[in-house]
Amino acid sequence: MAPAFFACPSGGGAQPRRQDRRRIIAAIQNAVPIWNDFFFPLVLIISDNLKTLPQGLTVFVGEFTTDWGCCSPG
């Protein structure tokens, strides 16, 4: 028989527990400002000289890639 901490109180285990829901909500609430702090300057700052290091690296990596999907026939 499984230990008590592995057993699901609802029986089926289909519903996430309240603690899991709270962690998911906290993760989303923490991720949104980080997302905004990265993408707003990336969109709004036009000059490459004024961009911060993460935005500059994003532009640099994307600058020298080839879109093979549009180059292939079909």
For the residues of 21-51, what is the DSSP string, one character each? Answer: HHHHHHHHHHHHHHHHHHHHHHHH---TTSS
pTM more than 0.85: no
pLDDT tens for each residue of 10-47: 555 556 677 888 999 999 999 988 888 888 888 888 88
Q: Centre a 10 Å sphere on the Cβ of residue 45 and count the other Cβ atoms it contains.
A: 14
